Amino acid sequence: MADEQFMNSMKLIRALLFYLFLTGLTQSALLTVGKEGANYTVIQDAIDAASPGDVIEVRGGNYLENVIANKMLVLRGSGNPVIDSNGNGSAVKLINDGIVLEGFALINASSSGIEIDYNDNITIRNNIIRNNLNGITIHESFNSSILGNTISNNANIGLDLEDSALSAIAHNIIHNNNDGIILRGSNENAIEYNLIVNNTAYGISLENRFLSEAGPGGFSDKNLLEKNQIEGNEYGIYLKYSEGNDISANRLINNNHGIYSKYSLNNTIRNNDYVNNIINESYDSQSRSDIWPPEPTAVFLVFGFIFISANIIFGIAIGIISGLIIKKTLKYSSLSLISKAILGIIGSIMGFYGCLIYFSSNLLISFIAAAASSFILILLVEILRHSGRGINI
């Protein structure tokens, strides 16, 4: 029995040692790229030699090449390395799941600074993407994270998502492109805390891929656009064939159109801050959205005018009636009819809105408070005037 226990213990120890050996073999390696004193001088050579899970650290310098990452790697720039496509294709293509790209400048691509096709869980972080045809293009990919990048001076689109979902796009600075962010047939993405400035056409556009497509495969639906600052674009936010998006707490400044909606339904547009836009919100006849606070339409203005007029008339009536009651009660009155009407309006406004705002009362109680406030104000003025306090109204 003791021998059997000893043999079983030895088997467990050997298995454990073998596991540790395999774990040691599969640990990620660090490969360096640089002009001097590094493992490689060309980024693509390091990628070709690397194993999945390795970290490739690229030191500062200018790298005139087109990079294709086809393994799960961490590509990390140190000292602001520049990948210059020199007008030939994309600067970087990411064609495997789980790649991290951070700390690079991607420039002069005739296609895209960064291109992602059919791959998921990719992180693009703290890069500078400028002077390309497109900044970042993402096609049929899920769970991408686009964080803290500066995307500028690209001839076409800063960030283009097509048929892609569940991506996080946050804390980026996107400026001086033709378009800032375009989503085409892309759903359930979160676009938050970005600064999107001085793009020629669109700050953010949610649209369909092709005119003939309908439904989740073609529209851009259920995206979250929140707490972005969008400034100096032709259209701050543009919706076309898009449904169920939540557009809230964005700051839209100096755009020709703050938010424009075309053929779009059931979007929630709320609590956005509009500053110096030529048109804050506009919609075609086939768009329907839930908007709060509402834009002052003609109907809204008419009802507002009627409501304010009713308050004034109510105040005048209460002022006159209160004056008559006080005159009969005190046996004197030193106020003119106009003075009573003015005091009635002032007291009515104070009582009505004070009760409605501070005590959340209903309209009936607010009108009662308005009447009481008017009566008390007129009574107080009459008493003070009669006592010789020198109040002239």
Full DSSP string of 17-67? HHHHHHHHHHS--EEEE-SSSSSBSSHHHHHHH--TT-EEEEESSEEES-E
Q: Where are the domains of the chain?
A: 30-292, 298-386
What percentage of the chain carries pLDDT values higher than 70?
A: 74
| Residue bearing tokens 């050996």 | 21
Which pLDDT value is given to residue 191? Answer: 98
Residue 345 and residue 370 in contact, taking contact as beta carbons nearer than 8 Å? no
Which pLDDT value is given to residue 332? Answer: 66
The pLDDT confidence band at residue 299, using thresholds 50, 70 and 90, is: low
Which of 184, 181, 208 shows the shortest CA–CA distance to 192?
181
The pLDDT confidence band at residue 330, using thresholds 50, 70 and 90, is: low
Q: What is the DSSP letter of 301?
A: H
Q: Sign of the C-alpha dihedral, residues 11, 17, 19, 22?
A: negative
The pLDDT confidence band at residue 223, using thresholds 50, 70 and 90, is: very high
Report how far residue 29's alpha carbon sits from residue 88's, in angstroms, rounded to the nearest whole number. 31
Looking at the predicted structure, is the pLDDT value of residue 213 above 60? no
Residue 201 and residue 223 in contact, taking contact as beta carbons nearer than 8 Å? no
Q: Name which of 79-83, 122-126, 133-137, 343-347 the model is least confident about.
A: 343-347
Residue 67 and residue 111 in contact, taking contact as beta carbons nearer than 8 Å? no
What are φ and ψ of residue 327, in 5° steps?
A: -60, -40
The pLDDT confidence band at residue 219, using thresholds 50, 70 and 90, is: confident
Fold classification of 30-292 is: Pectate Lyase C-like (2.160.20)
What are φ and ψ of residue 309, in 5° steps?
A: -60, -40
Which pLDDT value is given to residue 291? Answer: 62
Which of 194, 298, 283 shows the shortest CA–CA distance to 235?
283
Report how far residue 329's alpha carbon sits from residue 323's, in angstroms, rounded to the nearest whole number. 10
Q: Name which of 38-52, 101-115, 179-193, 258-272 the model is least confident about.
A: 258-272
Mind listing the pLDDT tens digit for each residue in 112-170?
Answer: 999 999 999 999 999 999 999 999 999 999 999 999 999 999 999 999 999 999 999 99
Strand partners, 195: 173, 229
Mind listing the pLDDT tens digit for each residue in 3-62?
Answer: 555 445 544 545 444 444 344 445 789 999 999 999 999 999 999 999 999 999 999 999
State the average pLDDT for the chain. 83
Give the contacts of 113 (CB within 8 A, at least 6 positions apart): 85, 90, 91, 92, 106, 107, 129, 130, 132, 134, 135, 136, 151, 154
